[in-house]
Amino acid sequence: MRRTKRDPGVLRRILPVVAMIRLTVDGIPVEAAEGSSILAAARAAGTDLPGLCFDERVSPQGSCRVCLVSVDGGRPVTSCTMPVREGMAVRTDDPRAAGAARLALELLVSEQPERALRIPADRSELVRACQRFGITGSQFHGSGHARDVDRSHPYVKLDRDLCIACGRCVRMCAEVQGTFALSMAGRGFDTVVVAGTGEEWISSPCVACGGCVDTCPTGALAEPGLLDPAPIDRATTTTCGYCGVGCSLRVHVRDEQVAAITPVHGAPVNRGHACVKGRFAYAFTRSRDRLTTPLIREAGRDSPLRPATWEEALDAVADRLTAVRDRYGGEAIAMISSARATNEENYLAQKFARTVLHTNNIDNCSRLCHSPSAAGLTASFGMAGGTNPFDDLDRADCILVAGANPTEAHPVIGARIKQRVLDGARLVVIDPRRIDLVGFADVHVQARPGSNVAVFNGIARALLDNGHVDQTFVRERTSGFDELTELLRDYPLDRAAHLAGVDPTPLAEAARLYGSARTPAIVYGLGITEHTHGTDGVRTLTNLAILKGAVGTLDGCGVLTLRGQNNVQGASDMGALPDLLPGYQPITAPRIRTRFSRAWGVEVPERPGLRILDMFAAATTGRLHALYVIGEDIAQTDPDTRRVQAALAACDLVVCHDLFLSRTAEHADVVLPAASFLEKDGTFVNFERRVQRVHPALPSPGEAKTDFEILHLLAQRMDADLGCPTPADAMAECASLTPTFAGISHDRLDQEGPLHWPCRGPDQPGESRLYLDRFATPDGRAALAARPYLPPGEQPDQRFPFLLVTGRRLPHYNSGSMSRRTPDLDLSPREVLDLHPDDAARLGLADGDLVEVTSRRDRVTFPVSLTDTVARGQVFTTFAFPDRPTNALTSDCADTTTGCPEYKVTAVALRPS
């Protein structure tokens, strides 16, 4: 269902900043980028010129006429629609213009109810405009309207009588969010915004990104917290703690509670946009079941957890960890560090493991997620991150989205992709499901789960056959071409299509679109990595960009990895990995180990440690005695739950830091209450390698402490000093030991804003776009990979004929520990299994019926949701609800290179329950 693509009415102009224009506003000299409006320039110059239908994030409309100004003494003009011109003299106080603007505003407010003017001025543009023109409540004629207030949605309230029909919300929804859920209905005086076809807001296609609420100038569309007239005590700018996009958010606090969260306008990553989670899903911070004290067990696993003092809890952990270490050696202890925690906390966690526990047994959830990206991108290009900044997408004329569902998992990026497509870029989607972006795509390759390598080899072969290979680039900057060409003899399009279970036509079209583009981009996610051949998937995907010469050049936009957790990039960057020290420096290199050992004053252990899944195996075989888990719910989110539970049961000691009593915490001996991202100081690294500041907006509840404080206190009790007392010190220490972070410090981030790594010195800007001169591989060349298609680890058979794919839905986040404790639960109250209607008919299942899903390991019952977004023979669900433990079903098949689980392919049987 392609809507209004390339409709000039919704085309957003993305203007490269070509030149600066000089003009004067009320006699004051001002500079503005060519193409900006007079209104934007006047505001940038510090005037409070109102513009009730204007928002610089969307196209101008010029309808409210309260932004009238004079230019060079001429007739009044709408400043929101007129672009700046060199030398123009703008007057916002021109009597004719101001008079006409005042009249327009008076007419507008005469139709408003009185309560419109009682909204605090800092929350209503209308009120501010009235103040500027001296219009007071007494001039209100009262409203002829008495229309309902729609309170059906937990986050968006529509007070219809406050609507001035400015259309900003409609344009935000279309041009910025790309959802097209809103329109204006009615005529003249009766015009009002409607969602969908006029149904209640909650039932409409609104995805609750908050764009409409953010732009509404009157409070007609509002979120509960900000409309409350009580003053806001303070606001803090920080980085979102949900996904890896890294949106800049403003956290408004009243009475030590979050009153509202709004996106930072003009922020580099999100450009004033956000999504339902970052923007609205904050109620978890003050949820009644937040952990506020440590918990310990009196006697053994069978005794209940009881509240304890920090002294008791830390002593218990310190004594027992010391005992295990001294008896069995450090290798009998393993630590899982958190991709939800800050860089500084992850730095400290790996330092704690290596210097206090004396083990390299430390890993983070990157293992479950994008470890194949780190391995694959390093092998292909030399470094473990995406190659380009996301802003490069503004230059892309073709976007290939493979195994990623950004409108649900990285919604701000999903919206940007839609914007780009509406601007004319071609879109190719490779996904077994008909995801939302397919509605905007030129072609959808609905490949069978686990067939990526066949698909990408088929496309690579077509690039060769169609003459779409950049021969000069291949000759001068790549290696492995001959071997790849040889392998691709086996991948003519028909065969590749057959292996992937698709028609050759869409595959050929995908190859033609990517191959004939001038500046193509590749965007990918877990549909590529979470497979038995995940690293091969990444390598064969990067082949396409290399063959096309679309990486490490300005002719393409490279390969963008949509990394998952808010700080999964950072957790790995900081060395919370069993074989790598901070900055991906190999633990096995003696020179590097010596440098760290000297700096830390303790010998760094030499042998690489255990990966997450190997930790479980080691526990069940008695080699591992203690497991220390920071912010990961392994008993819910790691594959094959029974095996995880067996591992937890086998350990003498399980310690966990969490915000809540997670499934893992229920199995722990000691649970330590952790602060959330809204309560801590430090940095996160987003999926573009952008290092961004995190500032505490709230105190943590009760006695909860940051992971940073907890690790320090514990080290002290084990007679060790981790050094770096503050997060800023930890970053400084990391920078001193890590060449790619050498130029990064809290001071610099506070002064200059976010920096990309690599940033090799305090005077270096940081590299957002990599490899323009040379690749970082040993020979400086991008390495093409000849990898054959191999079948997934698990295959359907007669007993288990369906394929279960697992992944994300918009409202909930991973284990759901946070999002389920917010009104997101009203948006998505329970887990369902997506099932094709034809399969449902065969099984005699109606929408909402229960189905028992059995895999080779366990069985779980789900209500079914009938949808043809899944292919026949495939089902889809998430893993956000502990009462439907999806990961009891998934297998321990894992990527042969990195150990990343095959979450995307599980053979299952379905039986009506």
Ligand X SMILES: Nc1nc2c(c(=O)[nH]1)N[C@H]1C(S)=C(S)[C@@H](COP(=O)(O)OP(=O)(O)OC[C@H]3O[C@@H](n4cnc5c(=O)[nH]c(N)nc54)[C@H](O)[C@@H]3O)O[C@H]1N2
- Name the site residues for Mo ion (rule: CB under 5 A): 369, 564
Planar angle of CA 152, 158, 159, nearest 5 degrees: 125
Query: Which one of 431, 470, 509, 767 is in contact with ligand X (CB under 6 A)?
Result: 431
Does residue 286 contact residue 822 with C-beta atoms inside 8 Å?
no
Does residue 166 contact residue 63 with C-beta atoms inside 8 Å?
yes
Could you say whether residue 660 binds ligand X (CB under 6 A)? yes
Could you say whether residue 372 binds ligand X (CB under 6 A)? no
Query: Which one of 155, 687, 708, 879 is in contact with ligand X (CB under 6 A)?
Result: 879
> Residue 674 touches which of Mo ion, ligand X, none (CB < 5 to 8 A by kind)?
ligand X
Could you say whether residue 793 binds ligand X (CB under 6 A)? no
> Residue 615 touches which of Mo ion, ligand X, none (CB < 5 to 8 A by kind)?
none
Helix (H) or strand (E) holding 499: helix 493-500
Query: Which one of 683, 890, 891, 898 is in contact with ligand X (CB under 6 A)?
Result: 890
Could you say whether residue 815 binds ligand X (CB under 6 A)? yes
CA distances from 15 to 133, 354, 652 (A): 33, 50, 61
Query: Which one of 435, 615, 627, 845 is in contact with ligand X (CB under 6 A)?
Result: 435
Classify 262 in phi/psi space as left (phi over 0), alpha (psi -120 to 50) or beta. beta
Q: Which residue is nearest to Mo ion (CB)?
A: 564
Could you say whether residue 385 binds ligand X (CB under 6 A)? no
Could you say whether residue 582 binds ligand X (CB under 6 A)? no
DSSP code at position 339: T
Q: What is the dihedral of CA 494, 498, 504, 509, to 10 degrees?
A: -100
Stretch that binds ligand X, among 63-71, 482-490, 640-648, 886-894 (CB under 6 A): 886-894
Stretch that binds ligand X, among 376-384, 404-412, 477-485, 692-700 (CB under 6 A): 404-412
Residues 281-340 that bind ligand X (CB under 6 A): 338, 340
Shortest separation between residue 807's beta carbon and ligand X, angstroms: 2
Which is nearer to ligand X, 117 or 251 (by Cβ)? 251
Stretch that binds ligand X, among 2-10, 446-454, 462-470, 853-861 (CB under 6 A): 446-454
Shortest separation between residue 814's beta carbon and ligand X, angstroms: 3
**Residue-wise burial string across 123-159, b where 16 or more C-beta atoms lie within 10 A, e elsewhere:** bbbbbebbebbebeeeebeebeeeeeebebbbbbbbb
Query: What end-to-end distance do the CA atoms of the chain give, in Å?
Result: 35
Residues 490-529 that bind ligand X (CB under 6 A): 525-527
Could you say whether residue 408 binds ligand X (CB under 6 A)? yes
> Residue 657 touches which of Mo ion, ligand X, none (CB < 5 to 8 A by kind)?
ligand X
Binding letters toward ligand X, positions 449-468, x by CB under 6 A = xx-x----------------
Query: Which one of 632, 640, 681, 831 is in contact with ligand X (CB under 6 A)?
Result: 632
What tokens appear for 190 in the block? 């009766």
Stretch that binds ligand X, among 84-92, 131-139, 427-435, 773-781 (CB under 6 A): 427-435
Shortest separation between residue 432's beta carbon and ligand X, angstroms: 5
Would you say how long the chain is, in residues? 913
CA distances from 415 to 302, 420, 434, 807 (A): 49, 9, 17, 19
**Nearest alpha carbon to residue 616 among 647, 578, 651, 654:** 647
> Residue 178 touches which of ligand X, Mo ion, none (CB < 5 to 8 A by kind)?
none
Question: CA-CA distance, 855 to 800, in Å (whole number)?
Answer: 7
Could you say whether residue 657 binds ligand X (CB under 6 A)? yes
Binding letters toward ligand X, positions 195-224, x by CB under 6 A = ------------------------------
What tokens appear for 675 in the block? 């602060």
Shortest separation between residue 563's beta carbon and ligand X, angstroms: 7
Q: The dihedral of CA 241, 243, 248, 252: what is its sign?
A: negative
> Residue 161 touches which of ligand X, Mo ion, none (CB < 5 to 8 A by kind)?
none
Token look-up 């193409």 returns 35
What tokens appear for 331 in the block? 């290798």
Which is nearer to ligand X, 781 or 812 (by Cβ)? 812
The DSSP secondary structure of 78-134, one letter per residue, reads ETTTSBP-TT-EEESS-HHHHHHHHHHHHHHHHTS-GGGGGS-GGG-HHHHHHHHHT
Residue 718, CB-side half-sphere exposure with 13 Å CA sphere: 27
Could you say whether residue 692 binds ligand X (CB under 6 A)? no
Query: Which one of 53, 369, 651, 784 is in contact with ligand X (CB under 6 A)?
Result: 369
**Residue-wise burial string across 856-877, b where 16 or more C-beta atoms lie within 10 A, e elsewhere:** ebeebebbbbbbeebbeebbbb
CA distances from 662 to 118, 496, 666, 672, 702 (A): 44, 43, 6, 12, 18
Question: CA-CA distance, 520 to 738, in Å (whole number)?
Answer: 33
Site residues for ligand X per CB under 6 A: 243, 338, 340-341, 365, 368-369, 402-406, 408-410, 430-433, 435, 447, 449-450, 452, 525-527, 530, 562, 564-565, 630-633, 637, 657-660, 662, 674, 676-677, 707, 805-808, 810, 812-815, 817-818, 879, 886-887, 890, 903-904
